[in-house]
A = this chain, B = another copy of it.
């Protein structure tokens, strides 16, 4: 089934305890597209880059069957740029520089052929831009997933709350869930957030796994205890790409299938962090994904009955 992906396509410069990159290809939509491409070949991208964005990177997306018709290229302008530095524990990072560039006046235009995409993934962006995309859809997609972050909660909470009324699944991290709800307990936070609109809430806890809530059940997916985490950039977006990619492929949005989608998303995130930027996502194959899913199954599996 078709997925419409909206989000940033960008340059990142990343520093971690393991090394440092110059400008490399990044952006939420890039990670989402690459990750979901393992599950789906009808990925429609809406985003914006400047004239400085390399054709080779656009070609890489095309090679993954991403339809880039909705990728605006602003010739005389520059691509969104973010640079950041991770601390030793990899859970904290400092933003060193943000150049909004083409993102400053981004007006997302959804091509006609994309307007009835069955699945919609609103990657992390200004909430009013996410809303503009929602408003252009001809009919309500089967599933709308929205990712956001504390930055937008600080600046545009009203816009975000407005967008939340229309989404099916919200993905945020634990600190953001606390900020959005005003509750420290994630179980309580989930109840409050689900009352704001979303039918499902995914709380991403990085190295501590992810929680999936609906209004009566909860599912927990662990994170694999990895020996090396080189670069956490894009992990959340890779998760989202695997999650929606799996749902669109199976076209089943039951809670049971969402559990599998969360595990698939977690597997994609676990690959993403093993190398800098998008590199690992361009190297893996389906066999490796299957093996990793098995690792997730093994990690928490036990026989509750004594033999």
A contacts, CB < 8 Å to B? 88-90, 184-188, 190, 205, 208-209, 211, 218-222, 225-229, 250, 252, 256-257, 259-260, 263, 293-294, 297, 299-300, 302-304, 306
Contacts and interface: CB of A to CB of B under 8 A. Distances in A.
B306 A88 contact: no
Contacts of A303: 256, 260
A220 B300 contact: yes
Nearest to A225: B187
Choose among A88, A90, A208 the residue with the greatest number of B CB atoms under 10 Å from its CB: A208
For this chain, the copies found in one complex come to 2
A220 B222 contact: yes
B185 A228 contact: yes
Given A304-B297, A306-B257, A220 B225 contact: yes
Choose among A300, A303, A304 the residue with the greatest number of B CB atoms under 10 Å from its CB: A300
B306 A263 contact: no
A219 to B, nearest CB: 7
A188 B302 contact: no
Q: Which 3 A-B pairs have the closest CB atoms?
A: A259-B302, A208-B208, A300-B300
Contacts of A218: 225, 299
B205 A208 contact: yes
B302 A219 contact: yes
Given A185-B229, A208-B209, A209-B208, A220 B299 contact: yes
B186 A299 contact: no
Choose among A219, A228, A293 the residue with the greatest number of B CB atoms under 10 Å from its CB: A219
A294 B304 CA distance: 9
Given A304-B260, A306-B257, A185 B299 contact: no
A299 B221 CA distance: 9
A184 B302 contact: no
Contacts of A188: 227
A245 to B, nearest CB: 14
A207 B188 CA distance: 14
B300 A293 contact: no
B300 A227 contact: no
A68 B260 CA distance: 50
A256 B220 contact: no
A184 B226 CA distance: 11
Contacts of A225: 185-187, 190, 211, 218, 220
Given A205-B208, A208-B208, A208-B209, A185 B302 contact: no
